[in-house]
Amino acid sequence: MTEPQLGRQLLAAHRALAAELVVELEERGWPELRASQASLVLNVDRRSGTRLTELARRAGVTKQAMMVVVDELEVRGFVRRTPDPDDGRAKVVRLTARGRTLGAECRRAVAAVEARTRRTLGGRRYEGLREALDLLLETEEETA
Amino acid sequence: MTEPQLGRQLLAAHRALAAELVVELEERGWPELRASQASLVLNVDRRSGTRLTELARRAGVTKQAMMVVVDELEVRGFVRRTPDPDDGRAKVVRLTARGRTLGAECRRAVAAVEARTRRTLGGRRYEGLREALDLLLETEEETA
DNA sequence: CGATGACCGTCAGGTTCGTTGACTTCTCGG
DNA sequence: CCGAGAAGTCAACGAACCTGACGGTCATCG
């Protein structure tokens, strides 16, 4: 009855992909890096850096949540906070040299995972999946 | 580049559906019931009850995790633990009368959420989504 | 100009869903 | 009958979030 519920499947799938990403990064020599961290690195503008609030907005989480991730990456020397010259309240999150290297690796790792997913699903199903998720989230945030 | 990553979308979709389920249950007069609890109620065999370990297996989590949920539902009088007559180590989780009522409501709530999802996606896309997730999780646990 | 409100990052504390590890108790097969 | 191992439990923890509150900063509009 009620085949494994849709909600649970979505969660399980998320976990599976996140785990794959971590493995991928480990194999590339970046251990102990979590998916949320990798995802942040990908969202920082390479040239100008990005404000915390903007990063939060892009990731769809609160700035408090984002701050934790920035803290972690800052401690490990992948990003640093610099004051925003244009706005005394704000700080700009920038990639360090090491952070930029990591960023490139993350892009490859993400691509690898998505490629593998696409392969196991087949192109048509994969596109369908993304389309369905887009639609779902879109109409969801309208309702909210 | 790298449109909102697939992994994040899956997580967001999960949260959205879980939240919908909670709202659905609230409107039906079962407040403060979380998705994981509802999902457990649906997995308890109505007649004979089900062992904790089996519930954990069905939900794809550890027995420790499952125990927490059972504890919560037991406190609220929806299930109770009875010793398994066939196995002195085991206990059987059974629905109380109130639990059975809740179970029926949960089934309706889950059905309502999935129906709404299906409506926003359209039947074809909805089926495609489920198919894709099934496939993804299936090949995932083989690899594991 | 100066108050008022909105906005930035931050601190503190919670919540949800899950994990590993270390027992005790009990079963069952050789 | 005895040792491997499974059932349930206790304890501690982790990841990824959340809400609420607060001190600075900006911006704008009377």
What is the per-residue DSSP string for A120-131? Answer: HH-HHHHHHHHH
Residue with the bigger pLDDT between B105 and A4: it is B105
Q: Is A63 left (phi over 0), alpha (psi -120 to 50) or beta?
A: alpha
Q: What confidence score (pLDDT) does residue A144 get?
A: 47
Cα separation of B55 and B95, whole Å? 13
Q: What confidence score (pLDDT) does residue B4 get?
A: 54
Q: Categorize the per-residue pLDDT at B138 as very low, low, confident or very high, splitting at 50, 70 and 90.
A: confident
Alpha helical stretches, state H, chain A: 6-27, 35-43, 52-59, 63-75, 97-121, 123-143
pLDDT at B63 > cutoff 80 = yes
Query: Hey, which residues does A70 pair with through a beta bridge?
Result: none
C1'-nearest nucleotide to the CA of B66: C18
Rounded mean pLDDT of B19-48? 91
Residues A28/A109, Cβ–Cβ less than 8 Å: yes
pLDDT at B2 > cutoff 50 = no
Q: What confidence score (pLDDT) does residue B137 get?
A: 84
Residue with the bigger pLDDT between B5 and B62: it is B62
pLDDT at A2 > cutoff 90 = no
Give phi and psi for B100, each to the nearest 5. -70, -40
CA of B68 to C1' of C18 (A): 11
- A10 to B17: CB separation less than 8 angstroms, yes or no: yes
**Chain A residues touching residue B133 (CB < 8 angstroms):** 6, 9-10, 13, 129
- B11 to A8: CB separation less than 8 angstroms, yes or no: no
pLDDT at B18 > cutoff 70 = yes
The residue among A36, A29, A19 whose CA lies nearest residue A117 is A19
The answer to whether A143 contacts chain B (CB < 8 Å) is no
The answer to whether B115 contacts chain A (CB < 8 Å) is no
pLDDT at A29 > cutoff 50 = yes
**Chain A residues touching residue B135 (CB < 8 angstroms):** 120-121, 125
Q: What confidence score (pLDDT) does residue B143 get?
A: 60
**Chain B residues touching residue A1 (CB < 8 angstroms):** 42, 107
The answer to whether B23 contacts chain A (CB < 8 Å) is no
Closest CA in chain A for residue B17: A7
> What is the token pair recorded at B138?
């299936």
Mean pLDDT of chain A: 90
- A67-71, A138-142, B138-142: range with highest mean pLDDT: A67-71
Instruction: Express each pLDDT in A88-143 by its tens digit.
Output: 999 999 999 999 999 999 999 999 999 999 999 999 999 999 999 988 887 766 65
Give phi and psi for A44, each to the nearest 5. -80, 130
Rounded mean pLDDT of B42-63? 93
pLDDT at B3 > cutoff 60 = no
Instruction: Express each pLDDT in B66-102 by its tens digit.
Output: 999 999 999 999 999 999 999 999 999 999 999 999 9
3-class DSSP state of A81: strand
Q: What confidence score (pLDDT) does residue A11 get?
A: 85
- B35 to A7: CB separation less than 8 angstroms, yes or no: yes
Rounded mean pLDDT of B27-31? 90
Cα separation of A84 and A135, whole Å? 36
